[in-house]
């Protein structure tokens, strides 16, 4: 468990030394979500309708932006090799890296979403559901993305391949995440959608680090 | 302790080596020699368990590797720098230990860095150090990570005369307390004794 926390601490420290890499994903999210109200114009009914989808797609793409860096630097400088040979289980270290990735690329999106949601004329309760859906959904995006990042590690043009590989897998999260907010706005209650999102997250927490570890071992061969 | 028999490895269609075998007892070391491309690094990676062998067995304390015990007893330093450029030598050393589940206090890390001749460099980002100094930061891990088997691939590269001598001393001390080492190098090594394996 100590090595898990050490990995989180290490990756956060590295990110603090290189803030620009973290901030690009967050700024991307802010700018993309702000472009839509500007382009579409002030029609509150239309904006309310498209808000959940736009915010979720933007969150998805912002997460994707940070994914190639998840293992690439450690792979190039050889620290990933050291992790694979460490007495600590690689799965634990990988889980730590995924958590650090979410803290840097996912959590800021959750915290920014209500501010950006105001541009789409969402009311307070809808913003709350949006935050909750993103809180359950963004870790899921990081976990699934880590599998893709590990599978495309060291592949030339891996970034594009990663998008092609991971984006289809993000569809369930997108449907239920955006669906939760839409259902709430329509007065149907978001409980079902959020439960499904939580179930997917629980499944991914269990399987994704394991699958990522297996893919990394292949990449290191 | 370490018994390797009938090891074979190929890259694509090309057979790099076959029927490689050796054994090491406490206090012994092996010098793996061979031309460029003979498969020295491949052998090292097979040995530590980074890639699977085509054939053959590797036994550590009579158990097939990679076992949890082997991972704990072994340290591998390869071609890569394996240090983080944005962190200081001190941070690198302590975080590497923490990932291995070892709590390393500042005093022990400083002692290792001083031994490797990095006094006064411990708070600089590794980015600004020279290639040889980066290598010294990595080699400091030999002192902070308790391991029985040292697997060092081209560890003497980029080191100056005094560092080569120092690493020779470190390996000598390690062997004297019952450690083992497998080394690759093109140059004659400043460590007495040792078996040789020609690929």
| Residues B20, B21, B24: CA angle, nearest 5 degrees | 140
Confidence of residue B146 (pLDDT cuts 50, 70, 90): confident
**Burial class (CB within 10 angstroms; exposed 0-12, middle 13-18, buried 19+) of B97:** buried
Are B100 and A88 in contact (CB < 8 Å)?
Answer: yes
Tell me what pLDDT residue A21 has.
Answer: 82
A139 sits in the region (left: phi over 0; alpha: psi -120 to 50; else beta) called alpha
pLDDT digits (tens, 9 = 90+) for B122-134: 889 999 999 889 9
pLDDT-based confidence at residue B68 (cuts at 50, 70, 90): confident
Q: Is the pLDDT of residue B82 over 90?
A: no
Strand pairing report for B149-153 and B74-77: parallel
pLDDT of residue A142: 96
The H or E element spanning position B195 is strand B195-198
Q: Which residue of B has its CA nearest to A1?
A: B101
> Rounded to whole angstroms, how far apart are CA atoms A12 and A14?
5
CB contact under 8 A, B84 and A86: no
User: Residue A6 is nearest to which of B68, B76, B98, comparing CB atoms?
Assistant: B98
Average pLDDT over residues B54-79: 88
Provide the token pair at B70. Answer: 């082997």
From the list A77, A85, A87, the residue facing B84 with the nearest CB is: A77
pLDDT of A27 reads 94
* CB count in 10 Å sphere of residue B29: 23
Report the pLDDT value the prediction gives residue A138, as an integer from 0 to 100.
95
User: How many structural domains comprise chain B?
Assistant: 1
Confidence band (pLDDT; 50, 70, 90) for B11?
A: confident
- Beta pairing class for B2-11 and B55-60: antiparallel
pLDDT of residue B197: 85
A93·B100 Cβ contact <8 A: no
User: Distance (Å, rounded) from C-alpha A67 to C-alpha A105?
Assistant: 9
Nearest CB partner across the interface for A3, out of B78, B84, B100: B100
**Token code pair at residue B9:** 């490895």
What is the per-residue pLDDT for A143?
A: 96
pLDDT given for residue A8 in this prediction = 94
Q: Which helix (H) or strand (E) holds A181?
A: helix A171-185
DSSP A48-73: HHHHHHHHHHHHHHHHHHHTTHHHHH
Q: How many angstroms separate the Cα of B189 from the Cα of each of A53, A167, A178, B174, B176? A: 64, 52, 64, 15, 17
In angstroms, what separates the C-alpha of A103 from chain B's closest C-alpha?
A: 19
User: Longest C-alpha distance within chain B, in Å?
Assistant: 51
CA nearest neighbour of A69 among A20, A1, A134, A30: A20
Return the minimum-mean-pLDDT range out of A134-138, A197-201, B65-69, B176-180: B65-69
Query: What pLDDT, on the 0 to 100 scale, is given for residue A79?
Result: 92
* CA-angle at B63, arms to B170 and A86, nearest 5°: 50
pLDDT in tens, B16-57: 888 888 999 999 999 998 888 888 888 999 999 888 888 888
Residue B174 has pLDDT above 90, yes or no: yes
pTM over 0.90: yes
> Which stretches of chain A drop beneath a pLDDT of 50?
none
Q: For residues A91 and A89, what is the distance between their CA atoms, to the nearest angstrom?
A: 5
Q: Where are the domains of chain A?
A: 2-220
**The domain spanning residue B165 has which CATH number?**
3.40.50.300
Of B86, B100, B103, Cβ closest to residue A86: B100
Averaged confidence pLDDT in chain B: 89
B interface with A, Cβ–Cβ below 8 Å: 48-52, 68, 71-72, 74, 76, 78-87, 91, 95-96, 98-101, 103, 125
Chain A hits for B74, CB-CB cut-off 8 Å, are 85
| Beta strands in B98-164, from DSSP E residues, in sequence order | 149-153
* Residue B94, domain extent: 2-198
- Nearest to B60, CA basis, from B46, B42, B74: B74
If one counts every other C-beta atom within 10 angstroms of the C-beta of residue A124, the result is 9
C-beta separation of A158 from A68 below 8 A: yes
CA angle A96, A99, A100 (to 5 degrees): 85
Mutate to test the interface with B, among A84, A86, A92 (most CBs of B within 10 A): A86
A48-68 pLDDT per residue, tens: 889 999 999 999 999 999 898
Give the pLDDT mean for B102-121: 89
Shortest Cα–Cα distance, A151 to chain B (Å)? 16
State the pLDDT at residue B122: 84
């Amino acid at each position: 468990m100590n090595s898990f926390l050490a990995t989180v601490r290490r990756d956060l420290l590295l990110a603090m030394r290189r803030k620009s890499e973290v901030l690009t994903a967050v700024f991307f999210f802010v700018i993309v979500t702000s472009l839509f109200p500007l382009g579409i114009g002030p029609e509150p009914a239309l904006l309310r309708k498209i808000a959940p989808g736009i915010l979720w797609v933007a969150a998805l793409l912002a997460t994707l932006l940070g994914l190639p860096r998840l293992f690439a630097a450690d792979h190039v400088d050889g620290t990933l090799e050291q992790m694979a040979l460490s007495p600590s289980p690689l799965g634990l270290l990988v889980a730590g890296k995924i958590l650090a990735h979410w803290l840097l690329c996912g959590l800021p999106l959750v915290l920014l979403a209500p501010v950006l949601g105001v541009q789409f004329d969402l009311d307070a309760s809808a913003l709350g559901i949006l935050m909750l859906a993103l809180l359950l959904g963004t870790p899921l995006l990081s976990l699934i993305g880590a599998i893709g990042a590990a599978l495309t590690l060291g592949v030339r043009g891996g970034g594009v391949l990663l998008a092609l590989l991971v984006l289809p897998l993000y569809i369930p999260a997108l449907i239920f995440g955006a669906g939760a907010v839409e259902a709430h706005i329509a007065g149907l209650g978001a409980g079902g959608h959020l439960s499904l999102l939580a179930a997917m997250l629980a499944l991914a927490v269990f399987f994704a680090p394991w699958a990522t570890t297996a893919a990394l071992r292949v990449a290191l061969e | 302790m370490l018994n390797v028999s009938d090891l074979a490895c190929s890259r694509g269609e090309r057979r790099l080596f076959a029927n490689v075998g050796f054994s090491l007892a406490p206090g012994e070391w092996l010098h793996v020699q061979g031309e460029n491309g003979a498969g020295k690094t491949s052998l090292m990676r097979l040995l530590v368990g980074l890639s699977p062998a085509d054939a053959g067995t590797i036994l550590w304390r009579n158990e097939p590797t990679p076992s949890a015990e082997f991972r704990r007893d072994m340290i591998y330093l390869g071609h890569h720098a394996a240090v983080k450029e944005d962190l200081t030598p001190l941070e690198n050393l302590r975080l590497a230990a923490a990932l291995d589940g070892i709590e390393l206090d500042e005093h022990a890390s400083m002692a290792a860095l001083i031994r490797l001749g990095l006094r006064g460099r411990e708070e600089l980002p590794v980015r600004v150090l020279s290639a040889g100094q980066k290598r010294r930061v990595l080699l400091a891990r030999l002192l902070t990570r308790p391991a029985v088997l040292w697997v060092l691939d081209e560890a003497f590269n980029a080191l100056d005369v005094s560092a080569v001598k120092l690493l020779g001393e470190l390996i000598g001390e390690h062997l004297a307390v019952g450690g083992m080492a497998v080394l690759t190098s093109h140059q004659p090594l400043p460590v007495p004794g040792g078996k040789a394996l020609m690929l």
